[in-house]
Chains A and B, each alone.
Chain A
Amino acid sequence: MENIIQIDNLVKFYGKHKAVDNLSLKVKKGDLFAFLGVNGAGKSTAINIMCGVLDKDSGKVVIDGKDIDKDAKIISREIGVVFQNSVLDSKLSVKDNLLCRASLYGITGDAANNRINELSQLLDFDTLLSQAVGKLSGGQRRRIDVARALIHKPKILILDEPTTGLDPQTRRNLWQVIENLRKKDEMTVFLTTHYMEEAVDADYIIILDSGKIAAEGKPIKLKTKYTGDFVTIYGASEDEIAKLQLPYEVLGEGIRIQVKNTAEARDLILKHPDLFEDFELVKGTMDDVFLAVTGKKLGGQN
């Protein structure tokens, strides 16, 4: 499959601070690509360079075969962005907002109205069209943000922490819509998120730390490489588990033991069948991967 985004040796300084340090990445067309990192890791800087609103110091950025240095305006037609905070005009109606943003891409008149109708069906906001954006709930506003990002039918949708602050149900609904769009239009989704469970479904993940790639790969490979497996045992006492001389932690009613891999878990179970009457074996989470790779938790804590 062809690469729709290719970044080679990207460098960006803010004064003496190197915000992006020799970053290279490739994103395949139609993929869900997750770009993870704590605040200040360089994610937004890289995205702003891709969108053409920030100059790079060196390196090469090619989007859909076009060089950002030469074809920034063409590239801007192929990218839609859902910003972390809504950037629509809160005092204007949903329709006025979308008509205005459509005009920025040269979409006006019937073409704009038809596109808005299409999106209102897709994202289920036809009853909100005449309402002021400032009066919408968080979930409704997010749907309008997505509609704004899709107004010009972009090939790449950049989601910059799109679900921060949304309730779980609204998050699920939003992801369902985005998944449908990916399948239907083969749209590439470039995601940054603080919710690690959203990154699990990505086709490829890059973890950025201090402007550099700290780890990259498919989610399952990252989990295998950086976290090992976990066996959670229910009904056993902490004393019995301590005798196994393996790292563990007490989790409510269960005790979670960390093992190197599935083979070690299997051997452990066979060796101590009396302990493993009620248990579950799971891979490490993306949170564990992130912690292992960066020594930080998403959200900024060390």
Chain B
Amino acid sequence: MNTLLSMTKRNIKLFFKDKGMFFTSLITPIILLVLYATFLGKVYRDSFAASMPDGLIVSDALINGTVSGQLISSLLAVSCITVAFCSNFLMVSDKVTGVSRDFAITPVKKSTLSISYFLATLITTLIITYSAVLIGLVYIAITGWFYNVIDVILILLDVTILTMFGTALSSIINYFLKSQGQLSAVGTVISAGYGFVCGAYMPISQFGIGLQRVLMFLPGTYGTSLIRNHSLAGVLRQMTIEGFPVDVVEKIKDSIDCNIYFFDNKIGIGVMYGVVIGTIALLLGINILINTLSKKRKIS
């Protein structure tokens, strides 16, 4: 147990000391913020206002709360995955620099090392994403607060679950990476691509129907929708209180990915949790399997 704690501590320290790695992990969230500041915020706002039926009066606080909720949920959905991948890149750089050789000659079990990478990635990602939640809540408090305590708890739960998903997924993919080139390639694809795939830059509902159906096979989509639902729960509740027709609220939920559909079947919140948690369990199982079945490293 002491070895596991010591190795986890080492991995966490290295992530925060490696400024390059740390800032790389924040590239996608930063891009999203820049896009939001330059035009995405306006697009969200205009699109929301345009979807309102004529004669319906919508307060600025409600509009701001909706737009902020979209931004925060996008940021969190992206960060949980990209930060986890970058943090977990340590297991690859240990192979590249030869540090893993130094571990291989000791009596420590491979499983202990694997768990230490997993725990360190989970902890570092949670530190960053919880910080993002905190900053996001402060921002929402300024622009338009409609949350209750349960909403906040559920957002934290979603972030935790999605972070576990990102950590488990990155543990499998990074396990097979062995060179700096592979690491850079995967890092670039994840940083650049995940924002689009999860609908952070543009809601999935605005994609073509074919692509929407493909994205529904990705477990991350369900995690993103969970965060969207709970980040926007307050404003959606407020809309109902303010007398918005039910079908209008449902259309808004459709347009911002709170409602997602698997071949026209609407997915409930419970199913979303089931898919994400089930996937995490499956990924952890695969992790254990590849670590158990892998042979000794070949060192020429």
**A interface, CB within 8 angstroms of B:** 14, 19, 44-45, 48, 51-55, 73-74, 76-77, 79, 81, 83, 85, 87-89, 91-92, 96, 99-101, 103-106, 108-109, 148
Q: B38 in the interface, Cβ–Cβ < 8 Å? A: no
The answer to whether B2 touches A103, judged by C-beta atoms less than 8 angstroms apart, is yes
Q: How large is the interface on B (under 10, 10 to 19, 20 to 34, 35 or more residues)?
A: 20 to 34
The distance from the CB of A23 to the nearest CB of chain B, in whole angstroms, is 16
The answer to whether B2 touches A51, judged by C-beta atoms less than 8 angstroms apart, is no
Q: Which of B104-112, B123-131, B255-263, B266-274 contacts A (4 or more CB under 8 A)?
A: B104-112
**Given known A55-B295, A83-B102, A92-B17, contact A14–B7 (CB-CB < 8 A):** no
The answer to whether A54 touches B299, judged by C-beta atoms less than 8 angstroms apart, is yes
The answer to whether B6 touches A77, judged by C-beta atoms less than 8 angstroms apart, is no
**Given known A100-B6, A103-B2, contact A85–B14 (CB-CB < 8 A):** no
**Given known A53-B101, A83-B101, A85-B98, contact A105–B107 (CB-CB < 8 A):** yes
The answer to whether A87 touches B10, judged by C-beta atoms less than 8 angstroms apart, is no
Chain B 13-56 interface mask (CB, 8 Å, partner A; 1/0): 11001100000000000000000000000000000000000000
A73-B107, A104-B7 are known; give 10 further A-B pairs, CB within 8 A: A55-B295, A76-B107, A79-B105, A91-B17, A92-B14, A100-B6, A100-B7, A101-B106, A104-B106, A108-B6
Residues from chain A with Cβ under 8 Å of B7 in the complex: 100, 103-104
Q: Which residue of B lies closest to A74 (CB)?
A: B107
**Given known A81-B105, A83-B101, A100-B7, contact A54–B296 (CB-CB < 8 A):** yes
Alpha-carbon separation in the docked complex, A101 to B99 (Å):
11
The answer to whether A104 touches B101, judged by C-beta atoms less than 8 angstroms apart, is no
The answer to whether B102 touches A91, judged by C-beta atoms less than 8 angstroms apart, is no
Q: Which residue of A lies closest to B299 (CB)?
A: A48
What are 13 of the A-B contact pairs (CB < 8 Å)? A53-B105, A54-B299, A55-B295, A76-B105, A81-B105, A87-B98, A88-B102, A91-B14, A92-B17, A96-B13, A100-B9, A101-B102, A105-B106
The distance from the CB of A80 to the nearest CB of chain B, in whole angstroms, is 9
The answer to whether A87 touches B101, judged by C-beta atoms less than 8 angstroms apart, is yes
* A-B residue pair count with CB separations less than 8 angstroms: 84
**For the complex, would chain B's binding face be called helix, strand, loop or mixed by DSSP majority?**
helix
The distance from the CB of A146 to the nearest CB of chain B, in whole angstroms, is 13
The answer to whether A53 touches B6, judged by C-beta atoms less than 8 angstroms apart, is no
Q: Which residue of A lies closest to B1 (CB)?
A: A108
**Given known A87-B98, A106-B2, contact A92–B10 (CB-CB < 8 A):** yes
The distance from the CB of B257 to the nearest CB of chain A, in whole angstroms, is 40
Residues from chain B with Cβ under 8 Å of A81 in the complex: 102, 105
**B interface, CB within 8 angstroms of A:** 2-3, 6-7, 9-10, 13-14, 17-18, 97-99, 101-108, 295-300
The distance from the CB of A34 to the nearest CB of chain B, in whole angstroms, is 21
**Given known A51-B105, A105-B106, contact A83–B300 (CB-CB < 8 A):** no
Alpha-carbon separation in the docked complex, A55 to B102 (Å):
17
Q: Which residue of B lies closest to A80 (CB)?
A: B105
Residues from chain A with Cβ under 8 Å of B299 in the complex: 44-45, 48, 53-54
Residues from chain B with Cβ under 8 Å of A48 in the complex: 299
Alpha-carbon separation in the docked complex, A85 to B97 (Å):
9
The answer to whether B297 touches A104, judged by C-beta atoms less than 8 angstroms apart, is no
Alpha-carbon separation in the docked complex, A54 to B295 (Å):
9
The distance from the CB of B254 to the nearest CB of chain A, in whole angstroms, is 48
The answer to whether A104 touches B14, judged by C-beta atoms less than 8 angstroms apart, is no
Question: Which 9 residue pairs spanning A and B have beta carbons closest together?
Answer: A103-B6, A104-B106, A87-B102, A53-B104, A108-B2, A73-B107, A91-B17, A100-B10, A104-B108
The answer to whether A106 touches B6, judged by C-beta atoms less than 8 angstroms apart, is no
Residues from chain B with Cβ under 8 Å of A91 in the complex: 14, 17-18
Q: Which residue of B lies closest to A48 (CB)?
A: B299
**Given known A44-B300, A55-B296, A87-B99, contact A99–B6 (CB-CB < 8 A):** yes
Q: Which residue of A lies closest to B2 (CB)?
A: A108
Residues from chain B with Cβ under 8 Å of A101 in the complex: 102, 106
The answer to whether B107 touches A53, judged by C-beta atoms less than 8 angstroms apart, is no
The distance from the CB of A130 to the nearest CB of chain B, in whole angstroms, is 14
Residues from chain A with Cβ under 8 Å of B17 in the complex: 91-92
Q: Which residue of A lies closest to B97 (CB)?
A: A87
Residues from chain B with Cβ under 8 Å of A105 in the complex: 106-108
Alpha-carbon separation in the docked complex, A109 to B300 (Å):
36
Residues from chain B with Cβ under 8 Å of A87 in the complex: 97-99, 101-102
The distance from the CB of B6 to the nearest CB of chain A, in whole angstroms, is 4
Contact with A76, one of B97, B106, B300 (Cβ below 8 angstroms): B106
The answer to whether B295 touches A14, judged by C-beta atoms less than 8 angstroms apart, is no
Alpha-carbon separation in the docked complex, A85 to B96 (Å):
12
Q: Which residue of B lies closest to A151 (CB)?
A: B106
Alpha-carbon separation in the docked complex, A87 to B10 (Å):
14
Residues from chain A with Cβ under 8 Å of B107 in the complex: 73-74, 76-77, 104-106
The answer to whether A106 touches B298, judged by C-beta atoms less than 8 angstroms apart, is no
Q: Which residue of A lies closest to B109 (CB)?
A: A73
The distance from the CB of A289 to the nearest CB of chain B, in whole angstroms, is 26
The answer to whether B3 touches A89, judged by C-beta atoms less than 8 angstroms apart, is no
